[in-house]
Amino acid sequence: PVNHTCHPAGGYKKIFETCEELNEPIPAVVVGVIPEWLSGSLLRLGPGLFEVGAEPFYHLFDGQALMHKFDLKNGHVTYYRKFVKTDAYVRAMTEKRVVITEFGTAAYPDPCKNIFSRFFTYFKGIEVTDNCLVNVYPVGEDFYACTETNYITKVDPDTLETLKRVDLCDYLSVNGVTAHPHIESDGTVYNIGNCFGKNMSLAYNIVKIPPTPKDKSDPIAKSKVLVQLPSSERFKPSYVHSFGMTENYFVFVETPVKINLLKFLTAWSIWGTNYMDCFESNETMGTWFHLATKDPAEYIEHKFRTSAFNLFHHINSYEDDGFIIVDLCTWKGHEFVYNYLYLANLRENWEEVKKAAMRAPQPEVRRYVLPMDVHKVSVGKNLISLPYTTATAVMRSDGTIWLEPEVLFSGPRQAFEFPQINYSKFSGKNYSYAYGLGLNHFIPDRICKLNVKTKDTWVWQEPDSYPSEPIFVQTPDSVEEDDGVLLSIVVNPGADQRPGYLLILNARDLTEIARAEVEVIIPVTFHGMYKAE
């Protein structure tokens, strides 16, 4: 899906604007026919408040968390949205200023306090944000909205009420976990986060939350660290956004985007520092792949290496004949892609948006293949003998294994991102199809499907329309992997009426089945889930 679409009208700016929450669900106007089996809710999260009074939020990941819900039942659709009542949000509303430092926006001390009380608030320690604007996922019978810190927020998926904040540090030795857990069919949740390991050196912990126990108690209280993976640098963990899981292995990709912990820990006592200021790139390490077994959970000492890239989203991973196949949405190079996601950049006119993206890392969908058996190897020989891939792995004389990828999709400044698959049936298994949001110079303007075996692509796109991550919902009792629908929230800000809609596509060929239009603009959302009735 190489994209020739332009956006001179700049309608995309509207998805980065503050909106109001709704007092009650509003009915949608349905065009087309919604499949009668499709009964449930699409839940999504993203920023909805982009400034507090006169104080702006600066980064895409700073706006206050807004939860969206499209309810589908008997062919009818309603739309509802509420701000998550996090500490960050409630305190900002109360004090009418940014109180908690967000990803790219620093909170300043209360101007009403004198210098002494200000001085003493520095010793309360770091106040980490609980602004859960990234994703929502089930844990046992409950639903949690999340960002990437130690705080997750329990929400009611029906009323969108905020129920309670949970501090994972109360249960686990992690500084935070990702917004991309893996969830097994029995409800077991796996995640990864960095932590201080033995003798203050850094490590990454893979954690496990069991399914709901028989006594219906909270599974989070029973969560535990399964296995610890080492860090390439003692005081500088890599930024980790997601990880891979096959039937028997965990896959962790350690990228050269590093968090300078010393900077992070001292930054907070210095006025005006935020999370973005604590990232730096390691220009020499490239990218390291780590493997661990699931049961028993043990780190595997193979040293897989490849060239530098940013990684946010794993697509899928699976085992085949002694190899582990790892499909990724990569961005080439070591410069941090988040540097390009400041709101000021995204709100520029189209020519400026394009110019900025020219200097950014280039996106590429890649397949890496990791050999499990590397013992009796001859140095310099390709270890990958799978018949269907051009990916290679070569043992070097220093004992490291150098990986080269197979490219599954590549288009200049055209990213296949926010990937989704038929997760319930094909997560961790040999699969054929990935669905994604197409980013055109970072602006989301199409929905894509990729056949990872043949590299065939399909595209849904309309002028001046800005979709969100497509979520796959399987047709009941289907056998084919792509028998189902895709759900995406689309905004066409220039429309005469009903600028926001839920789009329902046939996952087979990306043809439209129906849309459910509402009279409001819906700001950008990142991730979410479909909750069947």
Kind plus residue range of the DSSP H or E element containing 433:
strand 433-440
Is-contact 208 226, C-beta < 8 A? Answer: yes
Provide the token pair at 190.
């796996």
Q: Which residues contact 355 (CB under 8 A, 6 or more apart)?
A: none
Strands (E), 197-286: 202-209, 224-230, 244-245, 249-254, 257-259, 279-281
Is-contact 99 92, C-beta < 8 A? Answer: yes
Counting every residue, how long is the chain?
A: 533
**Closest by Cα among 327, 292, 322, 289 to 308:** 289
In this structure, are strands 401-404 and 202-209 parallel, antiparallel, or unpaired? unpaired
Exposure on the CB side of residue 131, measured as CA atoms within 13 A: 29
CA-CA distance, 315 to 329, in Å (whole number)? 7
**Closest by Cα among 409, 380, 405, 417 to 395:** 380
CA-CA distance, 365 to 177, in Å (whole number)? 24
**Closest by Cα among 289, 197, 208, 281 to 239:** 281
Provide the token pair at 291.
């493997």
CA-CA distance, 40 to 158, in Å (whole number)? 10
DSSP SS3 for 193: strand
Q: Do the annotations mark residue 313 as ligand-binding? A: yes
Is-contact 190 251, C-beta < 8 A? Answer: no
Is-contact 492 474, C-beta < 8 A? Answer: no
DSSP-derived secondary structure letter, 344? H
Strands (E), 128-181: 135-139, 142-146, 151-155, 162-167
392 burial level (CB within 10 Å; 0-12, 13-18, 19+): middle
CA-CA distance, 77 to 270, in Å (whole number)? 49
CA-CA distance, 523 to 236, in Å (whole number)? 34
Q: Do the annotations mark residue 375 as ligand-binding? A: no
Is-contact 326 367, C-beta < 8 A? Answer: yes
94 burial level (CB within 10 Å; 0-12, 13-18, 19+): exposed
**Closest by Cα among 231, 264, 255 to 329:** 255
Alpha carbon 448 to chain centroid, angstroms? 17
Annotated binding site for Fe cation: 180, 241, 313, 527
Annotated binding site: 180, 241, 313, 527
